[in-house]
Amino acid sequence: MYGMEPKNCKRRILLAVSGMSPQILTETLYALACVQRPAFIPTEIHLLTTASGARSARHKLLHGGNFVRLCKEYGLDPELFKEQNIHLLCDAQGQPLEDIRTARENEIAADQIVDWVRRFTSDPCAALHLSLAGGRKTMGYFAGYALSLFGRAQDRLSHVLVSSGYESHPEFFFPTRESHLIEVGNGRVLDARDARVELADIPFVRLRTEIPQPLLEGGAGFSETIRHIQRIDEPPRLELDLTCRQLRASGLAVELPPMLFAFYAWIVQRHLRDDSRPCAADLREPNGLFADELMTLVRSVEGEMGRDRELTERSLKNGMDKAYFEEKKSRVNKILESQLGKALARNYQITRFGKRPNTSYGLALEKENIDWRD
């Protein structure tokens, strides 16, 4: 379902970050539902805010407030946004933050904003529309960066634009159908009916495919996720410890089942030799030498009584054939992509070199970037 038009998604989420200006939520909803074409009518609305921001939102939006007025005036469902949809940013002890002023509070807010965006984008049936209009500048930055990390084709990022005089006015929440006068000082009065509200769509780079599955599933904060993306631009380094059966790529532990660990070790071992990559021509018939080399590594990894050793021995009793090689290569590469992310995994996956009939297989890594330990 990835790549669906946002308006066609079964679950349509509007998420806003806000401080003491809850009107960004009604302004954004108005723009999405009443101005934008095609309209994006949310099925649920969520607000991320501080303790003081939550009090302001409850008072000004709910319980007969301006959100309810907007829904009544334009035929929207007031159940889209309820008190339980106001999510508080909390400190390490679970206490709501009154504001975000210190470096530590910024770090905490970043992790929680990232986690909410990750959650909402984990549903393939959902389209997320994220508004950057409210809250402190760092909140908007973290929210936008989070969508860049986790956003998909159907997700959108926007900033609401309000005509001069109405912007940030504490009594303006949306353009009304009927005349609604608001005072702007010095005896001047504006009519909410005349206000113009629109959305500026903000393009963003989608990095989701570069993030490994464990980070997509949660448990990582903002800084850890960014650190992973930064590894892509660093020199690759592969560490393989045969005795401890440990594999690290760019400093990240990679978990491979014993058989696949031995197969990958065999590829690395041959890669480290001169001119000894396995070739497609060597697999036209079952290859006894390849089978013997792999079995030696399987015994080192599994010992003489390992279950994988027995299965591998039976599979290779007549030698290693092309089907066996391709199946193991494909599984290893998929696990590397899942655990490292697509871009980082390319440095470590088993790659094809040359053209048929002279195709060979190995790693793109330079030998000096591989640390092999027996």
3-state secondary structure of 228: helix
- Residue 140's pLDDT is 85
Residue 124 and residue 105 share a domain: yes
Residue 296 and residue 204 share a domain: no
Q: Report if residue 112 sits inside a domain.
A: yes
Residue 162 and residue 241 share a domain: no
Residue 125 and residue 45 share a domain: yes
Residue 170 and residue 33 share a domain: yes
Return the CATH number at 85.
3.40.50.10770
**One digit per residue, pLDDT tens: the chain, 374 residues?**
345 789 889 999 999 998 888 999 999 999 999 999 999 999 999 999 999 999 999 999 998 899 999 999 999 999 999 999 999 999 888 899 988 888 888 888 889 999 999 999 999 999 999 998 766 778 888 899 999 999 999 999 999 999 998 988 889 999 999 999 998 777 789 999 999 999 999 999 998 988 888 888 877 778 888 888 888 889 999 999 998 999 999 999 999 999 999 999 999 999 998 768 899 999 999 999 999 999 999 988 877 556 778 888 889 999 999 999 999 999 999 999 999 999 999 999 999 998 877 889 999 999 999 999 98
Residue 240 and residue 212 share a domain: no
Tell me which of 228, 260, 295 is where a domain ends.
228
Q: Report if residue 201 sits inside a domain.
A: yes
- 29-35 long-range contacts (CB < 8 A, ≥24 apart) are 29/67, 29/70, 29/76, 29/174, 30/70, 30/74, 30/174, 30/175, 30/197, 31/158, 31/160, 31/197, 31/198, 31/199, 32/129, 32/199, 33/74, 33/76, 34/74, 35/197, 35/198, 35/199
- Residue 2's pLDDT is 44
Tell me which of 202, 228, 254 is where a domain ends.
228
Number of structural domains (the chain) is 2
Contact of 212 with 343, CB cutoff 8 Å:
no
Residue 67 and residue 164 share a domain: yes
* Token pair in block for residue 213: 């599955």
Q: Report if residue 134 sits inside a domain.
A: yes
Q: Report if residue 352 sits inside a domain.
A: yes
Tell me which of 228, 249, 268 is where a domain ends.
228
Residue 123 and residue 264 share a domain: no
- Residue 1's pLDDT is 39
* Token pair in block for residue 162: 């309000």
Contacts of 264 (CB under 8 A, 6+ apart): 240, 247, 256, 332, 350
Report how far Cα 259 is from the mean position of its chain's Cα atoms.
Answer: 31
Residue 166 and residue 119 share a domain: yes
pTM above 0.85, yes or no: no
CA distance between the termini of the chain: 46
Give the strands of the sheet with 246-249, arranged side by side. 252-253, 246-249, 238-241, 370-373
Closest among 50, 53, 17 to 145, alpha carbons compared: 17
- The domain in which residue 110 lies consists of 6-228
Residue 195 and residue 258 share a domain: no
- Residue 305's pLDDT is 55
Residue 240 and residue 174 share a domain: no
Q: Report if residue 1 sits inside a domain.
A: no
Residue 273 and residue 175 share a domain: no
